[in-house]
Structures are given as structure tokens and as C-alpha cells.
A and B are shown apart, each in its own frame.
Chain A
Amino acid sequence: MGTAQPAAPAGLPATPRPGAVIEASGLASGYGRKIIWSGADFSVGAGEFLTVLGPNGAGKSTLLRMVLGLLAPAGGTLRVFGAPPERGNPAIGYVPQRRALDPDLAISAEDIVGLGVDGHRWGVRLSRRAGRQRRESVAEALAAVGAVGYARRAVGRLSGGEQQRLQLAQALVTHPRLLLLDEPLASLDLRSQQAVSQLVADLHAEQGFAVVLVTHDINPVLPVTDRVMYIAGGSLCIGTPDEVITSENLSRLYQAEVEAITDSRGRVFVVGLEAETAHPHSPATPPGAPS
């Protein structure tokens, strides 16, 4: 089934490059005693593009929180850049799931991005040199994501796609070696989805950082993703898109009849899972379908 889709474009290696960014062995995730998934052995290489897929509540975001050091692993070991994860690591850029900003918020886009530079420091900024450096790195990050045109505008009035770019700039302002993106395409219109995923792909190619991107819908990032991690039913499975998104694999993960369909343009649809588990009589809805 999945073999009909096109492979990753030439030049993007399907195997991890040397020097692992994230290494996990026997990793388990959960809050308190509740285990969401367990037994994960994988590593993410430097400069690799990994897409994390799975249904709601499967534990995709908790994986990111563990890498950020905001949540301790429920079991197993996790190493980030060869060390246990700790919060506040400037080598990691993080773009959380977008929340709606107050439309009245008049703070300029520049200042939002600038928080990524020195927002975690105590006190107020006093030295002129620090202010200049901050302005320079903010301008650089804004230029990298193509947000220069609205750098001075009120952030509350920007569109969802524009706000998403600002978050990306805020994450990139420290020149991270690993970029974590949590549902960057959710609640965006189709055009902004394409623009944002293209932007992430371009930046990944230019700056060479590793990307871990969590999404519901793989299709916008299918051409650029090196490997795919699918989390469902308490376990996970990692490999190239062709290897992972197959009917057999997904049926095993979900422990239910699931079909992965590839259409004539290479887009992947996963059919049957939520419809079968939740409402046996309702028509199947493709959760992987573009909205």
C-alpha cells in the first residue's frame, strides 16, 4: 500500500546523520502512575527531520516536554545532546501549539521575538550593548522567517500564519541545533499550512538543525521528512514514511483494522481508526486528510 508513494527527494538522507541529538532507550512516558507509552528505543541524528504522528492524547506532546526537560521520563533513559534533558537549554528551539493571542494585545512582533533572546533573564535590560545585540539577533530571526514586513505591528492583529512565523522566529533566535514544533500546522488555513511547512523545510535545509515536528496530518511535510514516528496504542514505531505508514503496521499499533491509503498524488490517508474505536456505525473519517 504505502510503497506507491514517492520517496524522499534526493539529497535528504533517509538514515540519521552521525552525532545523535536525542537518544532514547526503553523510554516510557506518562504522568504520575499513568503510563501513556513505553518501550521506546530510538535516536534522532543531527540535522534530521523527524515527523511525529498519532491520534489525540497518544503522548506526542509529552515526548516534546520530556526532551525539553519539563517532564521527567516515567521510565527508561533519555539523553539530549548526550546529557540528561534540562530546561532552559538554548540549543533547543520550541514552538508550542499555537494559542489564540488576545486580539487587543498591541505589543509589537519584535518584542515578542526579543523575549526569546533575554526573556528568561532577571531584572531589566540596562546595557546598551545588550540592547543592540538583542535588536540584531531579532532582526536576523525575523528576516529568516520572512516576517520583517510586520516587525513593528501589533501582534494581536496578525493572522494565524503570521503569528506562527513569529513563534518560529522566537525559537530560532538562539540558533538552536534542535527545533521542536508542536502542531505548527493546526488551526491554519491550507495556504498558510503550505507556507509554514515550506518555511520549516527551507530553514531546516539552510541552517541544518534537527527538527522534531508533531502533526496530525503528514501530507504537508511528507516531501521533506526523513523519518516518521507513529505513536498510538501505547507504543510507537519509527522509520521512513514508506516503512511506517502501512496498513499492517498501523493495524498492529492501533490493534484495530486500519488502512493506509496513498492517492495518485502521493498523499497518505489513514482510514478507519477513530471511527471504528469511537462510533462503530458512523462513516469512517480520515484523520490524516487535509482539512
Chain B
Amino acid sequence: MISTGMITALAVQVPGFTPGPGWNLVADVQDMLSFTFMRNAFAAGTASAVVAGLIGYFVVLRQSSFAAHAISHIGFAGAAGAVLLGFSPVLGVAVLSLAASGAMGVLGQRLRGRDVVIGLVMAASLGLGYLFISLYTGNAQNAYSILFGQIFGITTGAVLITIGTSVIVLAVLTAIFRPLLFASLDEEVAQARGVRAGAIGIGFMLLMALAVSEAVQVSGVLLIFALLVAPGAIAERIARRPAAALAISGGLAVLITWISLALSYYTPYPVSFYVTTLAFVGYLASRAWTAWAGHAGRTGRVRGAGIATPTPRWAPRRLLRCACEHVGQARLGPGHAGARDPAGPGAGLGPQQPARLPERAADPCRAAPPGGTDRPGHRLPAPAGAQRGRPGGHHPGGQRGDPVPAVPQRGPPPSPDLPRLRRQRGGRGAGRGAVGRQGRRRGRLHRRRSHRGAVRPVPALRHVLTISRVMSEDARHRATEPHARHADHGSGPTTP
């Protein structure tokens, strides 16, 4: 195993090796990949991370993350036994975890909720692995690397085996994708529709064992949870479509692995530490994201119910609107709230209307949104000056199959008395087009409102690209024409 100590040793011996990163990213990456062990680590790490991410999403959906963890621990006994007998430890992990996952798959439903049994088997196999290690008289470093990962020590042959395993796992996963998704989300209905959920479950457990044996090389037996479960858990929280979820999960696992490898290359700390930390930070960030986007979701829900005044997210207009509404409500009196409701039947199931069975078109659940937005004032149409939505207050953003035709979600121009957001290009500061608070905020707002909290990676990417393009153009402009800076700071536009 090549440890960080060896890297520092290499730094002394190899000319041109810089122990710290420079600020030229391309040169840094070239520098990093000039070593065979780093190339091997990146290749094996990428192959196992893709598989771990994709399998991990289903692990989270099937709520079998404890089983995945247990399989890796049972695999540890196999690794230690293989070391004792003189085989490759990864082979030992693969054999024993395949056996364990096969047994779990066969037991299937009967094992669900049997955490005690799984935990005891897991502890017993950890103990057995420890016995094997103490029987082994050779280098104890080997066992240590099984527990915590050994990706820098991977041989070229092992890299090829890892990539081959990944290809097999991906092929099988593609073949069983739809029935696996169906059985993971709703096993009973899937069975009724002809899915052999039991066989699919066994197949999935075997795939999981292969993914575990691969990921063990990166993060080790003890820390496998990070690489196998965290990307899937993040994807489950933020992705609306299964395909997007798989892309996010696999992409995140790869990203975490790459960043960890790079950080570990430049710092004296181990890869698996970075993997676990990044995974944890990513999960926290996803929770923060969903909490923040959840508010947008609820706002969308209120609007979806046909409430006439969609609540904008930014404060000044919102406050103004609320003030207008409350004034209007006070003028109309409470009795008018239901009668003036333009949203059609069901949306205004207020206390004023007689109790009746709600009609199908108007979902009773949507009609009574929870939370603070359910104020009676919001059902009132706003005064003409403040109204932003279309008159009639039908569902914004046409859904497929919606009787209401799709209308592009673009409000009328804001009233002249309200503050206007400036365009991003003309932001303040010395470099025009700088992305300060306001610019970023506007970008966020725009994305969020147009997609209602759904994850759309492409606009975000485009946003970043635009920023970088603007900034680089600006820099070039300044470099070639030094006097242009003067013009920027001057009182008005000057003709060149």
C-alpha cells in the first residue's frame, strides 16, 4: 500500500512534484495523474463509485441500508480469511458477501425488521475476521486497509477486475431496472402485475454484494455506508424522476470519490475520511435544500389549489400584497370570502359554504392547505393594482391532461411603484456583471419559480457557465483596453 508518507517521499525524489496544489487546475490534474498509482486509484474509484451510487439509490428505496452494511461486515470475515489463506482480500469479500446476500435474499420478507438477527450475524463475522487477522502472522496493515480502504494500493490487475465487475453490474441493473424499481416502490402491486419480486430481490442482493466488494476498496468495510448510502439518500430526497435520481446518485458518488482522492493526494489525511465527510456534508446540504425547496413546494400547492393570488417569494411585494389583501378583506367583510372566490368549486371550501361531498375535480386535500399560507385573506382576489396571477385564478403552469390550457408562467409587468430587480449583467461593483448577492438571488428565484422546486441541473449549469463567460470576457476586455476601466467608472457611456 502506498501511504501518504510515500507521497511525501516521492515529493522529495521526483523533480517537478509540488506537494501542494498550484492554482492551475489542468496542471494539477496532470501532475496528479502522472503517477500510476493515482491513475489506478482514479480508475478503480470511478468504476466502483458509479456502481455504488446506482445500487445505493435502490438500497435506500428498498430501505435495506442496514443489510448493505451487514453484508460488508460479513465480507470482512471473508477478506481476513482470504488473507490468511493467501488469496486476494477483495476476492474473500466478494465470495462471503455474495453468500450472505444470497441468504438474505432468499429469506427476503422474513428478514424484514429482523435487525437483531442481522446485527448479531454481523458482529459474529466481525469477530471471526478479527480472529483470522490475529492468526495471520504477516503484515497487519493488510487488515487495516480492509477496514478503512486501500485505494492507493490497488494493482493494475485489480483495477481491470473492478471495471469488469462494474460493467457486469451495470448490465444486469439495466436489464432489471423497471421491475426492480416497481418492486422497490410497491412490492405488492408489482407482484400483482406479474413481477417476480422474490427473484428480483435475490438478484438485487447479489448486485449489492458486488457493489459492496468494489466499494470496500475505496472506503473500507467500516465506512462503506458513506459511499453506498449517502448519494442514494441525497438523490431520493431531491430527484423527481427515477432516471434523474440515478444520474444524481451515481454522479455524486463519483464526484465524492474524485474530490476525496485529490484532497488525499495533497494532504496527509486518508481517502476514506474525505469520502465519509463529503458524503455527510452532502447529505446535510440535501436536507437543507429540501427544507428550503419544500417551502416552494407548499407555495406551489397553494397556487395549485387555484388560489387567486400566488405568493411571490421576495419580501417587499409580498408584504405589500398582504397589506392590500387584508385591507380588501376588511372592506369586503368575512361573508364575501367564499362568494368572491374565483377559483371554482372546491377551492373555497370555507366555513361559509354548506358542508357537502367534495367533487372529484376539486381535491379536498388540496382545498385545505396546511401551514401559515391558509389565511382567509389569501383566497381573496387582490386589488387590481397588486394582482399578479391571471384573472380567474386557474392553475398556473399547465399540467398534462389538465383541462385548463397551459399558460406560460410569466406575470404581467410589475407595477411602477414596486422596486424592480436589476438584470444580472448590469450588477454593481467594479467588474460589471459580477455575481454579487443580488445576481445570485435573482438566479435562484428565477429557477425556482419556473420549475416549482424540481431539480433541473441544466439551467444551473448554464447559469454557472454564463457567469464564467461574462467574467472572462470582462477580464479580457480590461486586459486589452486599460482605459475601458475608466469608462466603466465614468459617469456615462463613452463612444470608443
Contacts and interface: CB of A to CB of B under 8 A. Distances in A.
B363 A149 contact: yes
Interface string B288-324: 0010001001001100110000000000000000000
Given A146-B361, A194-B357, A199-B360, A111 B241 contact: yes
A87 B194 contact: yes
Contacts of B300: 153
A124 interface: yes
A122 B452 CA distance: 32
A107 B245 contact: yes
Interface stretch (B179-187, B438-446, B464-472): B179-187
A120 interface: yes
Contacts of B191: 68, 70, 87
Interface stretch (B14-22, B24-32, B393-401): B393-401
A123 B366 contact: no
Contacts of A88: 192-195
Nearest to A96: B188
Interface stretch (B101-109, B170-178, B269-277, B419-427): B170-178
Nearest to B287: A104
B301 A104 contact: no
Nearest to B361: A146
Q: How many of chain B's residues touch chain A, expressed as a range?
A: 35 or more
A157 B304 contact: no
Contact of A108 (B188, B240, B358, B360): B240
A20 interface: no
Contacts of A162: 363, 365-366
A151 B364 contact: no
Interface stretch (A23-31, A48-56, A135-143, A210-218): A135-143
A77 to B, nearest CB: 21
B190 interface: yes
B182 A68 contact: no
A37 interface: no
A199 B239 CA distance: 30
B189 interface: yes
A118 B182 CA distance: 9
A120 B182 contact: yes
A191 B363 CA distance: 11
Contacts of B301: 150, 153
A94 B297 contact: no
Contacts of A118: 178
Contacts of B366: 149-150, 162
Contacts, number: 160
B177 A124 contact: yes
Contacts of B186: 96, 112, 115, 170
B236 interface: yes
A74 interface: no
Contact of A105 (B236, B305, B362, B364): B236
Contacts of A87: 191-194
Given A139-B401, A151-B400, A161-B364, A107 B241 contact: yes
Given A87-B191, A96-B189, A107-B240, A145 B360 contact: yes
A222 interface: no
B179 A120 contact: yes
A40 B178 CA distance: 38
A107 B297 CA distance: 14
A174 to B, nearest CB: 8
A159 B365 contact: yes
B286 to A, nearest CB: 9
A279 interface: no
A106 B365 contact: no
Interface string A159-201: 1011001010011000000000000000000011011001100
B369 to A, nearest CB: 10
A107 B361 contact: no
Interface of A: 68, 70, 87-90, 92, 94-96, 102, 104-108, 111-112, 115-116, 118-125, 135, 139-140, 142-143, 145-154, 157-159, 161-162, 165, 167, 170-171, 191-192, 194-195, 198-199, 202
Interface of B: 61, 63, 174-179, 181-182, 185-186, 188-195, 233, 236-242, 245, 290, 294, 297, 300-301, 304-305, 357-358, 360-366, 395, 399-403, 452, 454
22 contacts: A88-B193, A88-B195, A94-B189, A96-B186, A106-B237, A108-B240, A115-B190, A120-B178, A120-B182, A135-B400, A143-B403, A148-B400, A149-B399, A150-B366, A151-B400, A152-B452, A153-B297, A161-B364, A165-B363, A167-B189, A192-B364, A199-B360
Given A119-B193, A151-B399, 19 more contacts: A87-B194, A88-B193, A104-B237, A104-B290, A106-B290, A116-B193, A119-B178, A119-B179, A120-B179, A120-B194, A121-B179, A124-B177, A139-B401, A143-B401, A149-B305, A149-B366, A191-B364, A192-B364, A198-B357
